[in-house]
Structure 1
Amino acid sequence: MFKIIFSLFLICFSLVVKAQHPPVFSAMETDSSFIKIYNFDITLVKYSYKPNGVKFLVVHDNEDTGVKAGFDYIRWNGGELIDSQYGGVRDYYFSYMDDQYRIDPNAIYTEVGVNTRLKKDLFSSNEVEKALLGAGKQIVDFYDPKSTGYFLTLHNNADGGFGISSYLPGYDLASTADSVYINFQMDGDDLIYVTEPRLFTSLKKANVNVILQSKFASNDGSLSVYAMQNNIPYINVEVQHGHLDENLRLIELAVATLKEHGLVKKE
């Protein structure tokens, strides 16, 4: 069954390989890093304009609202954004030794995550898992949190499918959250997700939807888990597709919070 689904995906993928990438204003500079996972190609494009210590990362190629909001921020304030480009879809799809594989690119940063979240037919080759971990390492190295001092990611979600309520007691992601603060005047799909209490406290004071990841969160291979394991401050701006103005507002609050705690050098 997975092979049938995979074949159908390849047909659809052929229609979107010329994915429309966000426009770049003329003063921007670009740099690229290339990842190859067997027959699957990923291009990491770093867009820079007046670099100032603010750096965004986008790991899903179908989440363009975050990219556009990041560009809007950079246009007026300067900064950098790394965009993952691989055909305008969410997951990685590839084949190896006639077997088909699929994985969320936000699950490739730990061995446990790759092992538990890799979707395949019957068996998984250790070589495939090593290749995925290598791809995750290349993404991290290109972002370079050692010099940046943090991770600042941009994600988008669908209306009503995922949001702040998902982390409340009794819901699917409750065990992932240590603390949750809700501004009931905001759309529940628009939120900020952090791994450090000091960041949570600042964003709570700013009266925005915010989640603090639990130190006991399951190892799902996500970048937030990797960041917590490696003591790297992590902040994710998660906004519903199309909420461009709110995405930019939350980006500005996220950057202000990082600066408040000395994680970004002030201009």
Structure 2
Amino acid sequence: MPESVTTVPLGEGAVAVVVTESGRPGRTYVNLHDNENTAVEAARAILARHGGRMVELRHTGERNITFTRGDTTYTFDPNRMFTPAGIEATLRRFGAFSPAAAAEVERLAEAVLERAGLDTMSLVVALHNNTDANYSAASYLPGGSEDGNAAEVFLVEGSDPDDFFFVTERS
């Protein structure tokens, strides 16, 4: 399947925004973590079978994105780069924060939205893979590592809590 690559400057480095097109209409899939390659391979199989496109960030092969600006190194989780509050929180969580670094992260987020056309989509499927006992829907329950980051959590009794979906609107 054809890929188009846009290189977005970030600090003294860059991040590649890669769009893979199946050539047929279908859903849009997004992979923001460069170490979640199982999700990317699964999406390629879905694209081949059902059509659609995938937007992928490629940088260092790591989950988080790290860049240098001057003498300071910044790290952030790309899941959190789409709001000013998320940008500030993730930069602070991983160490350094500055308004200039936040502006660079915001420019990357805007480039991803623009290049991929994500801001015009009614449905986007975010791709992730995780491991047992590390991260699950239960992480969002009271006392969990993501407590407070979800308006509601619903777990089906007897289901595997690390196989789950996020939704942004109630049905």
The one-letter code of the counterpart of 1:62 is N
The one-letter code of the counterpart of 1:143 is A
- The CA deviation at 1:185 is 4.1
Unaligned runs of 5+ in 1: 1-27, 199-267
3-state DSSP class of the match of 1:83? strand
Listed one character per residue, the Cα deviations across residues 86-105 of structure 1 (whole Å, up to 9, x for unaligned) are 12111111211111111111
Instruction: Tell me what 1:55 maps to.
Output: 28
Query: Is the alpha carbon distance of 1:102 and 1:170 closer, same or farther for their aligned partners in structure 2, counting shifts above 3 Å?
Result: closer
Instruction: Tell me what 2:72 maps to.
Output: 99
Instruction: Tell me what 1:144 maps to.
Output: 117
Instruction: Tell me what 2:170 maps to.
Output: 197
The one-letter code of the counterpart of 1:191 is F
**Contact 1:74 1:80 (8 Å CA) reproduced:** yes
Unaligned runs of 5+ in 2: none
TM alignment of 1:83-98, pairs within 5 A: 83-98=56-71
Instruction: Tell me what 1:133 maps to.
Output: 106
The one-letter code of the counterpart of 2:85 is V
Instruction: Tell me what 1:82 maps to.
Output: 55
Query: Is the alpha carbon distance of 1:83 and 1:146 closer, same or farther for their aligned partners in structure 2, counting shifts above 3 Å?
Result: closer
| Corresponding residue to 1:71 among 44, 52, 58 | 44
Superposition misfits of 4+ residues, deviation over 6 angstroms: none
TM alignment of 1:228-267, pairs within 5 A: none
**Contact 2:27 2:124 (8 Å CA) reproduced:** no
Instruction: Tell me what 1:35 maps to.
Output: 8
* 2:163 corresponds to 1:181: no
TM-score after normalising by structure 2? 0.88
3-state DSSP class of the match of 1:133? helix
Listed one character per residue, the Cα deviations across residues 100-150 of structure 1 (whole Å, up to 9, x for unaligned) are 1111111221222222221345xx432221111100111111221344223
3-state DSSP class of the match of 1:181? coil
Listed one character per residue, the Cα deviations across residues 180-201 of structure 1 (whole Å, up to 9, x for unaligned) are 3323443221111111111xxx
Which structure has the larger Rg over C-alpha atoms? 1
Listed one character per residue, the Cα deviations across residues 35-64 of structure 1 (whole Å, up to 9, x for unaligned) are 111222211111111331411010010011
TM-score after normalising by structure 1? 0.59
Name the CA distance, whole Å, in 2 between partners of 1:146 and 1:51.
20
Q: CA RMSD in A?
A: 1.8
Equivalent pairs counted in the alignment come to 169
Instruction: Tell me what 1:207 maps to.
Output: none
Q: Percent identity?
A: 25
The one-letter code of the counterpart of 1:85 is R
The one-letter code of the counterpart of 2:168 is T
**Contact 1:30 1:46 (8 Å CA) reproduced:** yes
Name the CA distance, whole Å, in 2 between partners of 1:106 and 1:126.
19
